[in-house]
Chains A and B, each alone.
Chain A
Amino acid sequence: MARAEEVNGSGSLDDAPASPREVEIDAADQDTRALNDRLRELLLSGVEKVVIRNVCGQRYIGTRLYTPQHLKMDIEIFGTPGNDLAAFLFGHKITVHGNAQDGVGNTMDAGEVVVHGRSGDVLGFSMRGGEIYVRDGCGYRTALHMKEYEDKRPVLVIGGTAQDFLGEYMAGGIVVLLDLEERGHQANFIGTGMHGGVIYLRGAVDGSQLGSQVGCSPVDPSDRKVLDHYITRFLERLPEVGLSREEIINSPFLRLTPKSKRPYSTLYTY
């Protein structure tokens, strides 16, 4: 069991508190299951904010926090959470002070993840809602098969760039790659099979890097409004990048969108 310390609020954990409580736990020596047991226990006891110290590779943080009452929690992580952070996340908020590993936001439904560092492969895989902000870059297969539905429109903002297979099979949502260090976008096979959603790239990309189903155009004023909104949110969450909104937004952006919602409609015969 994790050691829990009351940071604010009163009495022991068993007392039903009147006000929202914040709890700090130490994840050193906790395995994945024990840590997630603890988080669930805290959520059910009414805790609304948890700070986890010494996280080292524990997986699926945030995943076991579905409750029929839709209780919500803020989780602040110090250290390096393991794979599948925020998988199936159901509206919680997670901040990582450090790097994240693979599978962040896998099939995430709602909520927010902020990574003060970089993120690994398959970031935002099949994500359908919520927002993810990553200060630095991310790995391969980012935003694969990201989707959207009505008011659920997932957003992924990356301070750096992504690697190959970005946005493959993408069916919805918004991905923004800011390339703040201006290293240039190196990814290949961007948007293969893409049939929905939009990817915004700051800087340039060569046609040869794109899948054949992807159309590329400069952004228009309505795109700029979207970018403006999410860049502002990015900077609010990650002020340490030390750039102003204007510095970022006043640069050339490209918009990648699918040429068709039905990329395979002529493949078959009856």
Chain B
Amino acid sequence: MKSFVFPEFQIIRDEEKCGQCRGCERQCAFGTHTYDPVADRLISDETKCAGCQRCVIFCPKHAIVVRPAPSFYRPNASWSREKLDDLKKQAETGGVILTGSGNDKPFRIYWDHILLNASQVTNPSIDPLREPMELRTFLGAKPDIMDISAGDGKVEIKTEIGPNLMVETPILFSAMSYGAISYNAFGSLARAACKSGTYFNTGEGGLPKEMRQEFGRCAIVQVASGRFGIDAEYLNCAAAVEIKVGQGAKPGIGGHLPGEKVSQLVAETRMIPQGTDAISPAPHHDIYSIEDLSMLITALKEATNYEKPISVKIAAVHNFAAIASGIVRAGADIIAIDGLRGGTGAAPKAIRDNVGIPIELAISSLDRRLRGEGIRNRCSIIAAGGIRCSADVVKAIALGADAVYIGSAALIAMGCTLCQKCYTGKCNWGICTTDPRLSGRLNMDIASQRLANLISAWSHEIAEMLGGMGINALESLRGNRDHLRGVGLYEWELDVLGIKGAGE
């Protein structure tokens, strides 16, 4: 059937500059560029281009420009080009539209409507280059009452405190499974986490055996509805265990890792036969209630001898705060909430773009709900989905989070350009692919260094911002909404965020 869909991108090659080295042909796994030996020139099939900019960046002559195709349908505020194109694709195939990365629709980004405070004159600001700044955080349940004994100049904690994760900076790598991302990308996250005193999250695809000894101590291993790669060894090698109930990019639905991506190594790690679809059902079929969840939390605590904190990850959806309260009461030590803009390797676009709520609102309502019920100390909150820079981290913590998970930001640090084609398995940046030729493009030494650099740069900036506010420990910022003011927000939005308008 003739496709009526426009090419999304236009490829312009400067023939003057092009040296026919055929580099672009090799770089593009989508097969966009081909060499025509008769004409001795490269030809580009724009219908195949994903706009990932790989060929642009790697062209030694800087001869290629890839830009949005200027062709247009008659402008129509209701029928955008994306709407028309998606509809046509569906008319041509009858399928569900898949996409990758996070929601790209113009929902309000609250981070950009919140401003931070700084000290002036009274309560002087602190210079983080001269004064100690405490970014270290402990994630896990804290006791209701702390009993101590003091004497002889020594203080001893008498209360038994459950397992907590010590993280040097409040930034953790979000769940990205091996299989969805490449071995090299996965390994780079693991290395960078250990190097930076933080944690990476294995996602639901297991943890390759050879990584356990070295990186297990920085791993949060996930237990999702597909239960891939899970045995007592996997659970016990890690620092913490996370039950994945939902994900911001696709709340309420499961996942299918297509058989093409289940290579031998992926199969080994997930412990499933090679080439089969790895299907994660929408719910955990042993969890239909808070009671059931409590049972899985306890089963995992039993399986790990009560030595590891158990996290439960849910998507931020309407009324989630009440559910989260149940999750805390069910015994979770950490709640990870993933907002509307959380990324994914593959999700139906209709879900990614229409389900969930923004993380900023979610953090605030969750923190206030748990405080209101007097159980905020019983769990830590990790916020995920749409954290783009250090200022977002600071704002998230001031709204009530203990730490954040970064997913897309970490991938971008490794080279991702948010082309959203992760589900094709052909990521030219070697990130979302299991093709060894493509994943070999990602050098683990370099990629892990880029990640570690990012964490260190953000941590410096966080320290600067804290110092500016006259705060010397992250603890004092947590839920400290007085340091936030809103601009350009409606009254109800300020109310949900629990902050005042700027100037107030």
Residues of chain A having any CB pair with chain B under 8 Å: 32, 36, 40, 59-60, 63-64, 66, 68, 83-84, 87-88, 90, 103, 106-107, 109, 122, 125-126, 128, 141, 144-145, 147-149, 152, 168-169, 171-172, 193, 195-196, 261-270
Contact = CB atoms under 8 A, between A and B. Distances in A.
Given A88-B299, A193-B281, A266 B95 contact: yes
A145 B273 contact: no
B488 interface: no
A182 to B, nearest CB: 29
Given A145-B226, A147-B271, A262-B276, A66 B286 contact: no
A265 B96 CA distance: 11
Given A63-B303, A106-B299, A125-B286, A268 B98 contact: yes
A66 B236 contact: yes
A265 B258 contact: yes
A59 B298 contact: yes
Given A40-B305, A60-B298, A87-B299, A195 B232 contact: no
Given A64-B305, A261-B275, A90 B232 contact: yes
Contacts, number: 134
A270 B423 contact: yes
B26 interface: no
B235 interface: yes
Interface stretch (B61-69, B86-94, B162-170, B186-194): B86-94
B240 to A, nearest CB: 16
Contact of B227 (A59, A107, A149, A264): A107
A43 to B, nearest CB: 11
Given A109-B231, A125-B286, A149-B273, 15 more contacts: A59-B298, A64-B303, A87-B303, A88-B299, A122-B286, A126-B230, A144-B286, A152-B271, A193-B279, A196-B276, A261-B276, A263-B277, A267-B96, A268-B96, A268-B98
A195 B226 contact: no
Contact of B277 (A59, A195, A270): A195
B424 interface: yes
A88 B295 contact: no
A149 B272 contact: yes
Contacts of A261: 259, 273, 275-277
19 contacts: A59-B298, A66-B236, A66-B303, A66-B305, A68-B236, A107-B227, A126-B286, A128-B231, A144-B285, A144-B286, A149-B267, A152-B271, A169-B279, A195-B276, A267-B95, A269-B90, A269-B92, A270-B98, A270-B424
A128 B93 contact: no
Interface of A is mostly: loop
Closest 8 CB pairs of A and B: A269-B95, A66-B232, A126-B227, A269-B93, A149-B271, A109-B231, A63-B302, A60-B302
Interface string B266-304: 010001110111010100011000000001001100110
Interface string B206-234: 00000000000000000001110011110
Contact of A269 (B98, B232, B273, B285): B98
A32 B302 CA distance: 10
B256 interface: yes
Interface residues of B, number: 41
Interface in B330-385: 348
Nearest to A126: B227
Contact of B231 (A90, A263, A269): A90
B97 interface: yes
A264 B299 contact: no
B48 to A, nearest CB: 11
Contacts of A125: 285-286
A264 B96 CA distance: 11
Nearest to B303: A88
B275 to A, nearest CB: 7
B281 A145 contact: yes
Contacts of A107: 227, 230-231
Contacts of B259: 261-262, 265
A264 B233 contact: no
Contacts of A195: 276-277, 279
A55 B407 CA distance: 46
A171 B276 contact: yes
Contacts of B96: 267-269
Given A267-B95, A269-B97, A128 B271 contact: yes
B224 to A, nearest CB: 10
Contacts of B227: 107, 126, 128, 145, 147
A264 B254 CA distance: 12
A83 B295 contact: yes
Contacts of B281: 145, 168-169, 193
A39 to B, nearest CB: 10
Nearest to B275: A261
Contacts of A88: 230-232, 235, 299, 303
A269 B96 CA distance: 6
A90 B281 CA distance: 24
A107 B228 CA distance: 9
Interface in B6-24: none
Interface string B422-453: 01100000000000000000000000000000
Contacts of A66: 232-233, 235-236, 303, 305
A87 B300 CA distance: 9
Nearest to B231: A109
